[in-house]
Chain A
Amino acid sequence: MASFAEYIAQNEERDGVRFSWNVWPSSRLEATRMVVPIAALFTPLKERPDLPPIQYEPVLCSRATCRAVLNPLCQVDYRAKLWACNFCYQRNQFPPSYAGISEVNQPAELLPQFSTIEYVVQRGPPMPLLFLYVVDTCIEDDDLQALKESLQMSLSLLPPAALVGLITFGRMVQVHELGCEGISKSYVFRGTKDLNAKQLQEMLGLTKPAATQGRAPQTQQPLCNRFLQPVQKVDMNLTDLLGELQRDPWPVTQGKRPLRSLGVALSIAVGLLECTFPNTGARIMTFIGGPATQGPGMVVGDELKTPIRSWHDIEKDGAKFLKKATKHYESLASRAAANGHIIDIYACALDQTGLLEMKCCPNHTGSMGTLLVYSFHTPYKTTLTRLYLKLSVFFVNIFGLNSFSPQTSREVKVSGAIGPCVSLNAKGPCVSENEIGTGGTSQWKVCGFDPSTTLALYFEVVNQHNAPIPQGGRGAIQFVTQYQHSSGQRRIRVTTTARNWADAQSQIQSIAASFDQEAAAILMARLAVYRAETEEGPDVLRWLDRQLIRLVRHSTIYCPYCPLAAHLCSACFSLCSYWLFTFMFHLRRSPFLQVFNNSPDESSFYRHHFNRQDLTQALIMVQPVLYAYSFNGPPEPVLLDSSSILPDRILLMDTFFQILIYHGETVAQWRKAKYHEMPEYENFKHLLQAPVDDAQELLHTRFPMPRYIDTEHGGSQARFLLSKVNPSQTHNNMYTWGQESGAPILTDDVSLQVFMDHLKKLAVSSAA
């Protein structure tokens, strides 16, 4: 079955789906014994330039509880003009418009190559795109200037018809009215008082009876109001407005943090959109330069002497604002999510900004934009400019609101999803009782999609052992994604996919062969991260270890060489999942599960991105890629191991969040001696330049933009590299391994080898 790899790749290519198992055990019992559940990584809006949208609406199964969409797997009776739903077996009449249907004249949705198909919904007016900037003004002048310029520039990158709005905040929150002549107007709110949508509406004068405002009835232009106007119309105005933005003028006394009313600002932003554009795709783009220090949602007091909470504080229950703030942001997130609005948070600060508390905002609304920038590492301005260049790419493809719902065959039910989504609480026959992640529903809402947004969906086989599935039966899953396209159209993308059933007893080999360890690794990782978010750290690790042990044990079942499972042969170990265990080793050490050395904000940031990126990126995050550049040959990927750190190499490490160039000891000395500036050492110059060029390429394509680190042997920043590699050599064992290679890592962490040994031992020992 060498073709499995191809099959997987093809499926991913066409449908954006990767299952952990590509052949499914046909009974519930078998499925549970396999440790890794049947699950899928699904990228709903995978870019499919080759996929022309169909200009009509999908045909739905008439059964109320099913409503599946007509797809290539359905059986069609061309003569009777009937089709049988492949999920519920209901026979449905084709609608009148399908009168001309025949074997030779099939609609696109019946063609096998259109297992993924996109419909355009014609009803309703096109929806505008909305961008509401929420800008912190408690920023250093330089940064503010840079931010202003970036924002001004961003206006030109927005689609001209998009509506924009501006809210600024510092001690107060200002909602700017756009398009005013002669005078710039803004509504100002106290930064300490939360307002509900109704109050806000009244205070902004957005109440229905326009008469009270003394304006002519505004009804003719419901699509914009004083605060949100088309870019093309207010471009100049907004540019001026941004230009005049002042740093928050309220004095900040010595030893205090500026008062920053982020909580209220966000609340107002959410409220404003909520009452003006419910259920329309909108982004609230929040730019902050520090933590909220007052009002609801404050994460730290304004006394500089009390530092912002750390993991340590949180564990000791010493973060007094944590709960309240989290609650505040959670409620905002759910309001925003309910209306399909996205909250992006772009934080630029040296210290934490409260992402931990706010994480649910981006997490629940499908933001792709949580961002941590340290302004002193890369000038903020360039960073933001990059950001916008990035955004400009995405804007075209960014999709607003959507509900996303899988349909399943009777034999499988859906347990839950992990990703930037919220439950819509749609109960249905296909909902499993076992919840994994966000479960208990067959529909989720993901407010913001981008082409790489990937959800992990977990399924459960419910077929009983004694009710075998007929040979050749296939389990089908249909994903229906409705979304608002950047053009303003509403679209529905339907992906229907099916996998073969197999009897675990008789066809164990084929099931084993269909194991997609990469997908499985990520799916397990997501599960672990999800647990880490909700549970205590050590428990998660323990759980993960247990799963691993079970997996190892289970994998021996498939190993032809170890029938007795009395011991593990290295062969089967490596065959089945050597890669997987390495991955797990790194996962255990990754910031997604380890909070040591990371601030709560950083953890939130990492997890956020881990939960939404597609498989490839996720793999990099857990197990960074390491390339070696040397005079010995072309750049080559090397093991993520301390043994790879050699003096005459330049290493390029990509951890997704960081791009690090590490110059080995010798190389660093050469560089210091400025050999690369001498014409005769041009090759050295090239060598130096090569990783930089590669890094730049990565930097340009990746979003969020990674942090770029250029360091060398002994440099302080080298720690990023050292903390990632497998510490095969440490100060404890450095002499037992070959002296000539690698650099010892000063750590007490176990190395991969030790980890594996232990794992093997445990797996073999009796019960775990």
Chain B
Amino acid sequence: MSQQGYVAAPPYSQAQPGMGGYQAGYGPPGATQPHYGHYGGPTQPFNAPPTASMMKSPPAGMPPTPVSSQYSQNVQQNGGHRYPAPPAASAAYGQPPQSSYNSMSPQSPPTTQQITNQMGAMSIGNYAPGPQAPVNSVAQQHHQRPAPAMGQPQMHPGPQSPPMSPQMSSTQFPPANMPMTAPPMAGSPLSPPPMAGSPMGAPPMGAPPMAGSPMGANPMGAPPMAGPPMGGMGGPFPGSPPPGVGGFQQAGPGPQGFPQQPGQFGGPMAGPQPGMPGGFPSGPSQLAGPPQKKLDPDSIPSPTQVIEDDQVRRGGQIYATNLRGQVPPLVTTQFTVQDQGNASPRFMRCTTYSLPCTADLAKQCQVPLASIIKPLARLPKNETPLYVVNHGETGPIRCNRCKAYICPFMHFTEGGRRFQCAFCNCVNEVPVFYFQHLDHMGRRVDFYERPELSLGSYEFEATLDYCKNNKPPNPPAFIFMIDVSYNNVKSGLVKMICNELKTLLEKLPKEEGSESSVIKVGFVTYNKVLHFYNVKSALAQPQMMVVSDIAEMFVPLLDGFLVNYQDSKAVIYNLLDQIPDMFANSNESETVFAPVIQAGLEALKAAECSGKLFIFQSAMPTAEAPGKLKNRDDKKLIGTDKEKTLFQPQKSVYEQLAKDCVANGCSVDLFLFPSQYVDLTTMASVPSHTGGSVYKYNNFQVETDGEHFLRDLRKDVQKPIGFDAVMRVRTSTGFRATDFFGAIHMNNTTDVEMAAVDCDKAITVEFKHDDSLGEDTGALIQCALLYTTLSGHRRLRIHNLSLNCSSQLSDLYKSCETDSLINFFAKSAYRAILNQPIKNVREILVNQTAHMLACYRKNCASPSAASQLILPDTMKVFPVYMNSLMKSSPLVGSTELPTDDRAHQRLSLLAMGVEETQLLLYPRLIPLHNMDPSSDVLPAPVRCSEERLSDSGLFLLENGHSMFLWLGQGSSPDLIQGLFNLPSLAHLQPDIAALPELDNPLSKKIRSIVSDLLEKRFNSMKLHIVRQKDKPEILFRQFLVEDKSVHGGASYMDFLCFVHREIRQLLT
């Protein structure tokens, strides 16, 4: 398994009979083929197959293509899909906008040499090194234009294009930069490319669509870009080639080129569009890769736009889960789910909703097949909570063979006496008590009365067989373990926690509908030794029990340690009042850590319940005890092959501890208050395997971080949560779950064990083929989570999801979900860095990105110029996320980033759901300066780029973990006055923690926006107030993910170009 760390997994690693090379592949991730190395076997095949596939592809994959332009394809595709709507729309879209791009990249495919040449040139000039930004920028422009708005004008193929190009070139091209001398080239070469595409007689086709529909409908067609830019773009590449142009088929008719493009778009677009009535400019998704001079950033796919469009298109609607393989709205979209037989996307999301039928196909496209499962996700108030089904003493009805739980996919036969398991096809008897007649449709008469037959998600009441030791579980417990060493006492933290607990404990989570929480609470304080407290309600005063035998931790008391808060309130109050005073004079600065967890674990063991530890730790545990840690933060390792060791836990003590914790249902949440390196990797290893979370507050100060911390604590304590959970993912025949990511522990290859799982924890599951899948039957996934509820009931939560299967790659690409994909990539990359140098991981990421896109290009897109970047509509913002992921701190080898922070992000991401990763990788940047304070609408976020900032602006940026309020230098004094009650920006104190409460509309509005966000996000965020050009701004800039990163990451534009180059390389 370990080998799988690499990112590329899915496609390659799929079982490929032919791949003897499998292992070999892994082995030699040697220098020469770094990229491929990971893929291992695949790599080699890579070259070969590609070619092969290339050859074939036309015939096989895309039979239609050859003949006529994409256009026709479109139609076909549309037709093929079930989606009824699209056709018309698609037409409408007409690929117009893109046409421009296409034009640029003629149908290079065939002409290998030349292209390569071009590439070579390019790479030299533009891509290669990050620094050459300018160049890159040039390249980029071609990509898309922004949204719909632009639509109309440009497209016009013939005429416009020419003019455009000149403009472009003139304006944008920094003449100097490119060796290519783009402009001229552009012009000429461009035209040719189109040709290429067109040869098929595309021209005509293209034209019409383009012209008509495109413009109007598609905003995309980023006007300017369209025609002209292409030209420009093309230029550069071919730059050198031009001469050779001849070689290019394109050479010929400029005009033709255009038409084609449209066609292409159309093709690809079409597919996707069906879903999108909005007439999203699917087109834009395809970008022209070629570098251009200063390109318009607006021309490349915009995540904010995509989000907005989806919100417009599907927001506020009801999403009924009655169809197989239906692609849900984006995570960012507000919608209501109606469970009609498949699990809500809130519980399960897949990277694609249409699986390739065979392992070969999967391997070919390299799109990972994965599902992100958030089994206990919170449901909005307007959605029905899960029903609880009780099948009595025999327990839930299951398939005898594969043990799948009864679900809507089960097929009843023989008048209802038997049912055939949809997962393993085994025929089972229906138990007598469960018998029911079938109606004329072959459905059980009680279909609608039984949630387990009609819904995608429901719960079973578990019988004793599902309980540990066959005893019903006891109510879970929360144990608060407070580090009372010098630092925490001095900073006032201890006092703060104690005060907060008094109120917080009143709000312990409870089961829906129950009167009060049955969760028990216990308290421990510690420094070098541990202090347990007996807070039995019968006592007049609490009793403290010191355990100094930290080498072999044990729990000194049983009765009175874990108590019901309501019963023991008086004693607990007494205790919480005393704790800060008791240690007020403590000088002890050393702490222990492993024994603390051990203690909590033992306590839960002794009480025979599961539960959660809340540990508030100040520093690295340096006291002589098991789990003592040393500072091993070595900046010299960064960038070397040994960098991975920084992410590997230090001591096996913790590994064992994590195992024990999981076995006993003990989850650990760690709150860290470090003032320096704490070896978070190691300290967080227990939480990250037990379904816990790690919170970190550097240089904690009560005044500035207090509220922030308390918000986290409150959220954390009040979260709905399940304990002692085991999750099992079952699939129908033909594929199976092979890998799991999350804050989990796995003893074997199938059972996902979690000491606890809360509403925010997601598990990403990767699937691979065993066999081929049938298009008719589709693919079914059933996720069963056995857990203990807050009230101590044992439950089974079942989520079912059905997916399509298709032998057409285009179907797959159409059903992809970028947000899920990136979640998967992020998790697998973050795991991979444990085993291989970060550099390799990054390469793998790029390669796979390129490969996925190249495969699309080759198999699904209509032929077009190689210089053209074509992205599947569903993945058009994939590169920006991918780029952001590559720039995320764990994957950036910068010595300026604290190792702990990197480790922290790495570990927290592993447990994140789709929504969270999306937000993390593409923060929301909200302009606040122009909004109308009286309106209820949140201003639309803008793209995360410096260019979007304005000197006089006021922006709020948040990514779910950090929040910044950015103040432009030129902010109007009114604004400042209104917000801070200060005469000018200069008066602002650098470290204010919150906005002052002022009674004016602006202040109120902004504060309400902030608090709404804080409310909405999973974690609390500390509000940083940043002035333009102030030092802290650097921090802020890290989050402008479309820009070049301070720590050395490419800008979006550069990355896109780079990927394009890679794609082209693959295609040749």
Given A188-B556, A212-B588, A214-B587, decide whether A183 and B582 contact each other with a Cβ distance below 8 A.
yes
Q: Mark B515-544, 1 if CB is under 8 A from A, else 0.
A: 000000000000001011000000111111
B543 touches A214 (CB 8 A): no
B586: chain A residues at CB < 8 Å are 214
A202 touches B541 (CB 8 A): no
A205–B546 Cα distance when bound, in Å, is 11
**Nearest neighbor of A202 in chain B, beta-carbon distance:** B548
Selected A-B contacts with CB under 8 Å, 23 pairs? A172-B554, A177-B546, A180-B544, A182-B574, A182-B578, A183-B582, A184-B541, A185-B544, A185-B545, A187-B547, A188-B556, A189-B547, A189-B548, A190-B554, A195-B549, A203-B548, A213-B587, A214-B585, A214-B587, A244-B539, A249-B557, A249-B559, A251-B558
User: Is the C-beta of A246 less than 8 angstroms from some C-beta in chain B?
Assistant: yes
Specify which of A174, A184, A204, A246 is in contact with B559 (CB 8 Å cutoff). A246
A212–B623 Cα distance when bound, in Å, is 13
User: Is the C-beta of A737 less than 8 angstroms from some C-beta in chain B?
Assistant: no
User: Is the C-beta of A561 less than 8 angstroms from some C-beta in chain B?
Assistant: no
B557: chain A residues at CB < 8 Å are 172, 188, 249
User: Is the C-beta of A193 less than 8 angstroms from some C-beta in chain B?
Assistant: yes
Q: Mark A230-241, 1 if CB is under 8 A from B, else 0.
A: 000000000010
B588: chain A residues at CB < 8 Å are 212-214
Given A174-B556, A188-B556, decide whether A182 and B541 contact each other with a Cβ distance below 8 A.
yes
Nearest Cβ on chain B to A141's Cβ, whole angstroms: 14
Size class of A's contact patch? 20 to 34
User: Is the C-beta of B492 less than 8 angstroms from some C-beta in chain A?
Assistant: no
A174 touches B545 (CB 8 A): yes
Q: Mark B551-565, 1 if CB is under 8 A from A, else 0.
A: 010101111100000
A286–B587 Cα distance when bound, in Å, is 36
A211 touches B552 (CB 8 A): no
Nearest Cβ on chain B to A176's Cβ, whole angstroms: 10
Nearest Cβ on chain B to A3's Cβ, whole angstroms: 67
B549 touches A183 (CB 8 A): no
B539: chain A residues at CB < 8 Å are 244
Chain A positions within 8 Å of B, measured between CB atoms, are 172, 174, 177, 180, 182-190, 193, 195, 202-205, 211-215, 240, 244, 246, 249-251
Nearest Cβ on chain A to B536's Cβ, whole angstroms: 9
A184: chain B residues at CB < 8 Å are 541-544
B912: chain A residues at CB < 8 Å are none
A202–B623 Cα distance when bound, in Å, is 13
User: Is the C-beta of B407 less than 8 angstroms from some C-beta in chain A?
Assistant: no
Q: Mark B579-604, 1 if CB is under 8 A from A, else 0.
A: 00010011110000000000000000
Specify which of A211, A240, A250 is in contact with B587 (CB 8 Å cutoff). A211
Nearest Cβ on chain B to A212's Cβ, whole angstroms: 7
Specify which of B547, B556, B575 is in contact with A183 (CB 8 Å cutoff). B575
A214–B558 Cα distance when bound, in Å, is 30
A182: chain B residues at CB < 8 Å are 541, 574, 578
Chain B positions within 8 Å of A, measured between CB atoms, are 529, 531-532, 539-549, 552, 554, 556-560, 574-575, 578, 582, 585-588
Specify which of B532, B574, B575, B587 is in contact with A188 (CB 8 Å cutoff). B532
A190–B548 Cα distance when bound, in Å, is 10
Nearest Cβ on chain A to B143's Cβ, whole angstroms: 64
Nearest Cβ on chain A to B213's Cβ, whole angstroms: 78
B541: chain A residues at CB < 8 Å are 182-184
A188 touches B558 (CB 8 A): no
B560 touches A249 (CB 8 A): yes
Nearest Cβ on chain B to A225's Cβ, whole angstroms: 14
A215–B587 Cα distance when bound, in Å, is 9
A313–B858 Cα distance when bound, in Å, is 88
B587: chain A residues at CB < 8 Å are 211-214
A204–B578 Cα distance when bound, in Å, is 21
A189 touches B558 (CB 8 A): no
Closest A-B pairs by Cβ, 9 of them: A188-B556, A203-B548, A249-B559, A214-B587, A187-B546, A185-B544, A188-B545, A249-B558, A184-B543
Given A182-B574, A211-B587, decide whether A188 and B552 contact each other with a Cβ distance below 8 A.
no
Nearest Cβ on chain A to B689's Cβ, whole angstroms: 27
B542 touches A183 (CB 8 A): yes
A205–B550 Cα distance when bound, in Å, is 13
A190: chain B residues at CB < 8 Å are 549, 552, 554
A250: chain B residues at CB < 8 Å are 558
A458–B578 Cα distance when bound, in Å, is 63
Contacts beyond the supplied A183-B543, A185-B545, A185-B546: 16 A-B pairs with Cβ under 8 Å = A183-B544, A183-B575, A185-B544, A186-B543, A186-B545, A187-B545, A188-B546, A188-B547, A188-B556, A189-B549, A190-B549, A203-B529, A204-B548, A240-B540, A249-B558, A249-B559
**Nearest neighbor of B553 in chain A, beta-carbon distance:** A190
A195: chain B residues at CB < 8 Å are 549
A452–B575 Cα distance when bound, in Å, is 51
A190–B552 Cα distance when bound, in Å, is 8
A185–B575 Cα distance when bound, in Å, is 12
Most interface-central of B548, B558, B582 (chain A CB within 10 A): B548
**Nearest neighbor of B559 in chain A, beta-carbon distance:** A249
A246–B549 Cα distance when bound, in Å, is 23
Nearest Cβ on chain A to B136's Cβ, whole angstroms: 60
A177–B529 Cα distance when bound, in Å, is 15
**Nearest neighbor of A244 in chain B, beta-carbon distance:** B539
Nearest Cβ on chain A to B624's Cβ, whole angstroms: 9
**Nearest neighbor of B543 in chain A, beta-carbon distance:** A184
A186 touches B558 (CB 8 A): no
A204–B546 Cα distance when bound, in Å, is 9
A203 touches B549 (CB 8 A): yes
Nearest Cβ on chain B to A493's Cβ, whole angstroms: 43
Specify which of B529, B543, B552 is in contact with A244 (CB 8 Å cutoff). B543
Most interface-central of A187, A193, A202 (chain B CB within 10 A): A187
Nearest Cβ on chain A to B389's Cβ, whole angstroms: 35
A593–B586 Cα distance when bound, in Å, is 59
A250–B608 Cα distance when bound, in Å, is 12
A177–B558 Cα distance when bound, in Å, is 20
A185: chain B residues at CB < 8 Å are 531, 543-546
Most interface-central of A185, A188, A213 (chain B CB within 10 A): A188
B546: chain A residues at CB < 8 Å are 177, 185-188
A212–B529 Cα distance when bound, in Å, is 13
**Nearest neighbor of B551 in chain A, beta-carbon distance:** A193
Nearest Cβ on chain A to B469's Cβ, whole angstroms: 14
A186: chain B residues at CB < 8 Å are 543-546
A183: chain B residues at CB < 8 Å are 541-544, 574-575, 578, 582
A180: chain B residues at CB < 8 Å are 544
Specify which of A193, A213, A214, A249 is in contact with B552 (CB 8 Å cutoff). A193
Nearest Cβ on chain B to A172's Cβ, whole angstroms: 5
A697–B480 Cα distance when bound, in Å, is 59
A214–B528 Cα distance when bound, in Å, is 13
A177–B545 Cα distance when bound, in Å, is 10
B554: chain A residues at CB < 8 Å are 172, 190
Nearest Cβ on chain A to B932's Cβ, whole angstroms: 57
**Nearest neighbor of A188 in chain B, beta-carbon distance:** B556
B544 touches A205 (CB 8 A): no
A187: chain B residues at CB < 8 Å are 545-548
A736–B557 Cα distance when bound, in Å, is 68
A185–B545 Cα distance when bound, in Å, is 6
A215–B541 Cα distance when bound, in Å, is 24
A203–B595 Cα distance when bound, in Å, is 14
**Nearest neighbor of B533 in chain A, beta-carbon distance:** A183
A214: chain B residues at CB < 8 Å are 585-588
Nearest Cβ on chain A to B622's Cβ, whole angstroms: 14
A193 touches B549 (CB 8 A): yes
A182–B571 Cα distance when bound, in Å, is 11
A609–B870 Cα distance when bound, in Å, is 102
A215: chain B residues at CB < 8 Å are 585
